[in-house]
Every structure is written in structure tokens, then in C-alpha cells.
Amino acid sequence: MTLRLFDETPAPYVAPEVIAPGAMLLRGFALGVDEALLQAVEGVVAAAPLRHLVTPGGYTMSVAMTNCGALGWVSDRSGYRYDAKDPLSGQAWPSMPACFAELALRAAAEAGFDNFRPDACLINRYEPGARLSLHQDKDEGSMDAPIVSVSLGLPAVFLFGGLRRSDCTARYRLQHGDVAVWGGPSRLAYHGVAPLAKGEHARLGAQRINLTFRCAR
Ligand SMILES: O=C(O)CCC(=O)C(=O)O
Ligand SMILES: [Mn+2]
């Protein structure tokens, strides 16, 4: 047996860890393709820069966001929605890189959700202190498909609760290469990310990148 008590090196993928019915952590699942994913992120960000969106309530989000795929998630004073165009440029979002679609398909299948073909990928960038408060992903047209969420860079504390905001939340440390998948009975589970702790990641420096794949149509 290998003890990993103080070792921050991500471990290779072993098996899904079920955290709720229909919700799983695939620890280290993205490790083999992490460099390809990060280079693809750079390409997307060059065409559609990360930006801090404003919520309908007028609050500027601490997480910076952009999108790729046919649809992108946006927020402004008029509400949350998916849009085929980047409001900054008026152009279509960059297309979904093949390595994104392939990883999302494989991760969903590993979690028991076959034929996952996302049409939207929200890219989130957290710097130390950035957080995402408890929410449901409920702007998608269908709740049949799961959400697939890939963590890269600095570790974060992922909060995962139940179907009511007041339900207890469990805390999971997500590291570079980890993938979370939630669907079926957990599709509308409340979740969020605690304020990112300071740190330095060997590849990404003081940031965490999260890719969230959705079937938005
Ligand atoms: O950053 C994460 O791990 C979660 C992101 C998320 O929940 C979202 O983009 O809706
Ligand atoms: Mn979410």
C-alpha cells in the first residue's frame, strides 16, 4: 500500500467515487489529456477572453468566464441564459475543441451516462479568493443529460448538497485532473466552490481552471 498523506501529486484514475445517487468523482480521470486541454483553453481564451460577468442582481462575479461550443452561458442585468454569440464580440463562440468533447464523452460514460454530446462548455477561471456560491445548473433545455466538470490547476473545495438550497453540503477537495459528473437524480443538486486558497500550481500558477460541459439545447 502507498501512503499519500502529504503528497499533492495527483493520483492516476482508479474508479468512480459515488458522492450521491447519479453523482460521481472521477479522480485523476483527465490527467493523461491535461496538457492538450490547457492548450485548447488557451486557444479559446485568445478568441473569447475571460471576463467577469454581472449577475441579474448587479453583483460582479469573482470567477472569470468564457465559453466554447454552439452555445455559451452568459449573465447580465437581464438574466442568465445561453446565447449562440459572445456578447463581447458579437461573434459565435469558438467551436468546442475535439479533446474537450472526447474527454466529456468518456467521463460521462465512465459515470454511467452514455452518448453525452455537450453543445456548451463554460470555462471558469478562479484566482485566490474567487468562489461560486451554491446554485443549481438549471438554464439548460433538458435535464436528461448530466453535467461534466473538469478541474485543472490549483485545488479547490467543491460543495455538493441536495435538491434544496437548505440541504447539508458535503465538501470535496478537487485537484488537477479530477472530473465530477452529476446527473439523473442529482442533476439539479445544489453545488458551489469555496473561496480558492492561495497557492502555486506547477503548470497554471495561481489559478484554477474549470471546464463545465452541458447539453444546453
Ligand atoms: O468550478 C467548479 O468546480 C464548478 C463550476 C460550476 O458549478 C458551474 O460552472 O456552474
Ligand atoms: Mn454549476
Which residue range forms the structural domain that includes residue 71?
Answer: 17-214
Percentage above 70 pLDDT, the chain: 96
Question: Which contiguous run of DSSP H or E holds residue 214?
Answer: strand 208-214
Counting the structural domains of the chain, the total is 1
The predicted model scores a pTM of 0.96
Mean pLDDT for the stretch of residues 5-18: 80
Q: What is the pLDDT of residues 44-57, one digit of tens each?
A: 999 999 999 999 99
Query: What number of other Cβ atoms are within 10 A of residue 31's Cβ?
Result: 17
Mean pLDDT for the stretch of residues 81-107: 98
Residue 111 backbone zone (phi > 0: left; psi -120 to 50: alpha; other: beta): alpha
CATH number at residue 48: 2.60.120.590
pLDDT at residue 117 is higher than 90: yes
Ligand 1 atom with the shortest distance to the CA of 126: 1
60 close to 54: Cβ distance less than 8 angstroms: yes
In a domain, 7, yes or no: no
In a domain, 3, yes or no: no
Ordered strands of the 170-174 beta sheet: 132-135, 191-193, 156-160, 170-174
Whether the CB of 186 sits within 6 Å of ligand 1: no
Ligand 2 mean position, distance from CA 148 (Å): 10
Whether the CB of 149 sits within 6 Å of ligand 1: yes
Protein residue with least CA distance to atom 10, ligand 1: 137
Angle 69-183-102 from CA coordinates, rounded to 5°: 40
Ligand 1 atom with the shortest distance to the CA of 156: 3
Question: Which contiguous run of DSSP H or E holds residue 83?
Answer: strand 79-83
In a domain, 5, yes or no: no
Percentage above 90 pLDDT, the chain: 94
In a domain, 11, yes or no: no
In a domain, 103, yes or no: yes
161 close to 167: Cβ distance less than 8 angstroms: yes
In a domain, 6, yes or no: no
DSSP string, 115-170: S---SEEEEEEE-TT--EEEE----SS-SSS-EEEEEEES-EEEEE--SSTTS--E
In a domain, 131, yes or no: yes
Mean pLDDT for the stretch of residues 100-105: 98
